[in-house]
Amino acid sequence: MTALPRTSAPDTVDSEYEDLLGQWSDLESALSTLLARPRNAQDFAAKLRQCDRWLQDLVAHDIDAALYLMFQLAATSTVGYSAAHALVCATLCHIVAHELQLPQRERDSLVRAASSMNIGMTALQDELAQQREPLTPEQRRAVDEHPRASLDLLEELGITDELWLEVVELHHQPQPDTTPLAGLPVQERLTRILGAIDRYAAMISPRKSRAGRSATDSVRAIVGQDSDQRDEVSLALVRAVGLCPPGTFVRLDNGETAIVLRRSERANFPLVASVVDAKGEPQSAPQLYHTVRGQPRIQAALARSAVTVELPHRAMVRLGLYAAQRSDSLN
């Protein structure tokens, strides 16, 4: 697992983390406004780059906190599905680009394509997330044509990065997943990365017509079962965030339900906080478990819809950091 920058000493935790959830919410709102009314933005390209820098700063501050808050926002977003999905995809593309050691230019084009790939159907995407009925023929046609519509709108808005534009145009075209990424032309490489992450993010996000899947079920669906055919992008995603990333829920083998707070030095053995006891009752105080140490173990990943407890996210993020730093100091 590649370690991105983490934060500092315990005595700075409260001041550093007090407004972290607010910053993620503000970023989501800013991106939502930009995607919903792009022609109203003065210098759209500059504002999207600003959102990208904001995202990078938040991830660099603490990747585990970033993943926790991002997955929670994806499951409970109030600004609309389209912007929430764009932010999840952009964040995961940034993290996977780091894992795959992509050149900066490729990383920039990939993340900005992830942020804007659906800009040609923002309102429709929000509408479809609330719709229980099958798509109408007109809606299906708009969905099929949205990559070209997004490309045309981005060009109208002054985007001149050809790689960014190509990836947006191609982002729903099937890409061969057995050819090594390094052997692909750059636009196909980035399209394959974005396609895998787009599918993963769509699976974990709830809509009116269905509940979101668990993160584990989602990544297994796109990784594949044959070890000789597993997709390089999806495996990089698992290495970077784990099968059960921070911010997702799990059932423990002692019957309790927990939320993942932080990754550990061993992939898929994260730090978790039990929030529902074995009888199904909310815990009066979260019980921390370092699953890397043994019992209890993670029995299954859970979709967000399977957990009804509401959590104080600022407190949970701080709890995870305190526990991780205390564990580090004892080792």
- 277 in any annotated domain: no
Identify the pLDDT of residue 30.
95
Identify the pLDDT of residue 209.
44
Identify the pLDDT of residue 36.
95
- 269 in any annotated domain: no
- 57 in any annotated domain: yes
The list of the chain residues with pLDDT below 50 reads 1-12, 207-211, 225-229
How many domains, the chain? Answer: 1
Identify the pLDDT of residue 9.
39
Identify the pLDDT of residue 79.
63
**48 — alpha (psi -120 to 50), left (phi > 0) or beta?**
alpha
CATH code where residue 144 lies = 1.10.3210.10
- 166 in any annotated domain: yes
Identify the pLDDT of residue 3.
36
- 248 in any annotated domain: no
- 234 in any annotated domain: yes
Task: Specify the pTM.
Answer: 0.86
For residue 162, the enclosing domain spans 10-241
- 2 in any annotated domain: no
- 287 in any annotated domain: no
